[in-house]
Amino acid sequence: MAKSGSLRLGVLGSGRGSNFAAIAEAASRGDVAAEVAAVISDVENAGILQHANQLGIPGRFIDPGKYRTKLDEGAEQAYITALQSAQVDLVVLAGFMRILKGDFLRSFEGRVINIHPSLLPSFPGLKAWKQALDYGVKHTGATVHFVDQGIDSGAIIAQETVPVLDEDTPETLLERIHGAEHRIYPASIAAIARGEVILKGRRTVRRVS
Ligand code: GRF
């Protein structure tokens, strides 16, 4: 995505919202040329909405409809409309626990990014930190990537490696991964805002400005 200038972000999340908070803080410090224009959750009492309210950023619950892992058709349209009316340039998934496909991705083609708690393509899907611990890898990490039709399969924008320590539990490992996420997600958005992230097929490369 080669757009430069100040980006309007639409953040989607289902959980506590620590990545959203890291991004919002980086933006308000001026480290990221972006502002969070909208926060949307599929979970009515999600921490991310409470965080948004505390920061004075418009946050709202939109009912995801009848499915457990995706948005139903009406909900998909409601999410698209809400993001378009907030004039969002970039959709930032921050712990959004539903798969986005079809119309949604077509409406924001090349403008949806996600953070995943492993070094993709290792350990896609749920509880990636636990998958890594159970597998026995010595390093895992966090990945920022564009969202495509697959699961955690889009072009990689940034990764940070995190060691797996002998004494780690799923909780201690996840906490270390979160530290990495809170660094690379704002940094990736900053790079996108500067127009430095260029998509070349399956790869992204950096254009130094
Ligand atoms: C993060 O670990 C992210 O990698 C995953 O969901 C989690 C969201 O955490 N996709 P938070 O809501 O940002 O604290």
Instruction: Indicate yes or no: pTM above 0.85.
Output: yes
For the cut 80, the answer to whether the pLDDT of residue 110 exceeds it is: yes
Give the tokens for residue 24: 């919002």
**Average pLDDT in the 47-66 region?**
96
Distance CA 165, CA 110 (A): 36
**Average pLDDT in the 65-90 region?**
97
- Domains along the sequence of the chain with CATH: 7-206 (3.40.50.170)
First to last CA, the chain: 14
In percent, how much of the chain has pLDDT > 70? 97
15 pocket-lining for ligand 1 (C-beta < 6 Å): yes
**Average pLDDT in the 43-58 region?**
96
Distance CA 109, CA 114 (A): 14
Q: Catalogue the active-site residues.
A: 116
76 neighbors 83 (Cβ within 8 angstroms): no
195 pocket-lining for ligand 1 (C-beta < 6 Å): no
For the cut 80, the answer to whether the pLDDT of residue 73 exceeds it is: yes
95 pocket-lining for ligand 1 (C-beta < 6 Å): yes
**Average pLDDT in the 20-26 region?**
98
Distance from CA of residue 79 to its chain's centroid?
A: 16
* Owner of token pair 């378009």: 84
- In this prediction, residue 209 has a pLDDT band, given cuts at 50, 70 and 90, of low
18 pocket-lining for ligand 1 (C-beta < 6 Å): yes
In this prediction, residue 35 carries a pLDDT of 97
Distance from CA of residue 10 to its chain's centroid?
A: 10
In this prediction, residue 5 carries a pLDDT of 55
Distance CA 204, CA 199 (A): 4
Which of 39, 48, 69, 115 is the pocket-test mutation for ligand 1 (most atoms within 8 Å of CB)?
Answer: 115
Q: What are phi and psi of 104, to 5 degrees?
A: -60, -50
In angstroms, the Cα distances linking 117 to 12, 27, 75 are 16, 22, 27
- In this prediction, residue 208 has a pLDDT band, given cuts at 50, 70 and 90, of confident
- The whole-chain average pLDDT of the chain stands at 96
Identify the three-state secondary structure at position 179. helix
Ligand 1 centre distance from Cα of residue 145 (Å): 14
Ligand 1 centre distance from Cα of residue 102 (Å): 23
98 neighbors 76 (Cβ within 8 angstroms): no
Q: Which atom of ligand 1 is nearest to the CA of 21?
A: 13
